[in-house]
Amino acid sequence: MRRRTPAHTQRLLARNVRERRLHKSWTQYDLADETGLRQALVSEIEAGKANPTLLSLHKIASALGIQVAELVLPQGTALAQGTKPAVRRPTKKRRGRPLKPPSR
């Protein structure tokens, strides 16, 4: 897999935010109102000039009804849906003497 540069990720973010916003027929002002962000920041993100915080990305993704990861993935990339988190399996019981209670 080819390594992505930060500039490439910024371009993906810019394109994805703009496409998702337009899909909802929203202006930049509409997205700013929904997220509580400044319209100027939305504009800078879509122009690939801003470096938004994770909180800003979360607000944008929530307003657009998508996951944060979808903002930086190439178009058409599917996210795993319904996967379960890794479950820690119980360890085998130890054989031998039981542990002594702590002395007081």
- Give the integer Cα–Cα distance in Å for 64 and 24: 8
Closest CA to 26 of 69, 60, 76: 60
pLDDT category at 85 given cuts 50, 70, 90 is very low
The answer on pLDDT for 62 being more than 70 is yes
Task: Give me the helices (H) in 24-96, please.
Answer: 28-35, 39-46, 54-64
Q: In terms of pTM, does the model score above 0.75?
A: no
All domains in the chain, ordered by first residue: 6-68 (1.10.260.40)
Helix (H) or strand (E) holding 12: helix 6-23
Query: Which residues have CB under 8 Å from 11's CB, separation 6+?
Result: 48
Residue-wise pLDDT for 2-49, tens only, equals 778 999 999 999 999 999 999 999 999 999 999 999 999 999 999 999
